[in-house]
Amino acid sequence: DMDPLDVLIRARLGALRKDGLRLQRNLALLALGRVGGRQGAGVRAGAEEEIREALLRQAAQGQSSARPWAALALGLMEHGRLSWGADPDEGTREALLQAFEAVGNPSFSGALAVSLGLCRHGETAPLLVEHLDTGDETIRGHAATGLGLMRARDAIEPLRAIAGGGPPGIAREAAIALALCGDKEAW
């Protein structure tokens, strides 16, 4: 919220995000996402919007090494908000979806797939299912993780097929996704 300690924490994380070492910058992004998703007392809409805008800007225009971290931070922020009953931020969901559809980098695509799952953006489940069978193993595994995080029950059959006979890394992620979806046969 807007109490002095919280304002100081956000300011320090913002400074680390800009001026820290690479790992510090990336972890500061994740911490900002967690902070932005927490329920607070008092006036917090300004703080939440400030964090969201900074993360959206970083995910869209930041250094290529930081963009996946910013996308994950946005997913964490939305996941936190949803956990305390806030409505999903459709602008964030749409930005993540557009980036996922446009990007070709497997690590960034993977981060976006996980973020869409954290946002529980169920409308993107068919798009993630398409990525289970195509492309780089990184995106395939992360697409499975995203489906599990969004509890995509419609994806159980394709996930079962991969868990039962896909490459080991992807099969593991598909099995975890099945467990997250509540598939009793995955256990």
> Going residue by residue through the chain (187 aa), what tens digit of pLDDT does each one get?
677 887 888 889 888 888 889 999 999 999 999 988 888 765 466 788 888 999 999 999 888 889 999 999 999 999 999 998 999 999 999 999 999 999 878 889 999 999 999 999 999 999 999 999 887 888 999 999 999 999 999 999 999 999 998 888 899 999 999 999 999 876 5
* CA distances in angstroms from 107 to 8, 83, 137, 161, 181, listed in the order given: 32, 26, 10, 24, 24
pLDDT at residue 18, as a whole number: 86
pLDDT at residue 38, as a whole number: 84
For residues 155 and 176, what is the distance between their CA atoms, to the nearest angstrom?
Answer: 13
pLDDT at residue 41, as a whole number: 60
* CA distances in angstroms from 70 to 12, 106, 111, 129, listed in the order given: 17, 15, 9, 23
pLDDT at residue 1, as a whole number: 62
For residues 111 and 100, what is the distance between their CA atoms, to the nearest angstrom?
Answer: 9
CB atoms within 10 A of CB 73: 34
pLDDT at residue 43, as a whole number: 45
pLDDT at residue 165, as a whole number: 87
Tell me the whole-structure pTM to 2 decimals. 0.89
Q: By the 8 A CB rule, do 86 and 38 touch?
A: no
For residues 183 and 187, what is the distance between their CA atoms, to the nearest angstrom?
Answer: 8
pLDDT at residue 135, as a whole number: 72
Rounded to an integer, what is the distance from CA 174 to the centroid of its chain?
17
Counting Cβ atoms within 10 Å, is residue 164 exposed (0-12), middle (13-18) or buried (19+)?
Answer: exposed
pLDDT at residue 44, as a whole number: 60
pLDDT at residue 130, as a whole number: 93
